[in-house]
Structure 1
Amino acid sequence: MSNFKQKKITTKNGKEYTLQHPGVRTVAKINDRVKNKHGIPSEEKVCDEMFAHVVVEPKVKIEDFESYIDMMEVANKAYYFITGVDDPDKDKTDGNDQ
């Protein structure tokens, strides 16, 4: 897959990021790498993987964030993007709550 799908996101605090899908095989490998021996995803590993392989602009790492909430918002949006899960925050902000 040479043309990976990209998506721009804006966080609640107004920062913009560009996400790029790394390909299905890479997503499967990421899912394997982030889990502990009991199959539970590690927040730190998920963040590291999302920032290394999915968030392409600006390039960030955990240490670049001042707020845990901001860091997890970016990592979660990146994870939702690569796994095809709808962002649960999306419905809250589109004004169509009916």
Structure 2
Amino acid sequence: MSVASPGGALPADFARTVAQAVIAEISRRGIVQPEYLDTAQASVYTGMSADWLSKGRSEGFGPPYSKVSDSRGGAVRYKRTDLDAFMAARREGGGR
């Protein structure tokens, strides 16, 4: 998947890296972040694809989420602290 830009499409990995850097800088500066993230935001935040998150919801292996009903069938939201806990529980390697 690519992200549209004025000069053409950006590779998804590059767009994700830039988004993660922006999120890190916002966090470092203490700018308020939303408590709940939609699937696209959760994808950027965790580095997991939106497709993986969707499959995780349908097959029961992904992070916890809420589904808020609306006229379009429901909006999925992930609580930031749930995403942090999900990632921490799967951490591997030294320095746990």
The answer to whether TM tops 0.5 is no
Q: Give TM-score, length-normalised by structure 2.
A: 0.31
From the CA coordinates, give the structure whose radius of gyration is larger.
2
Name whichever structure is richer in strand by fraction: 2
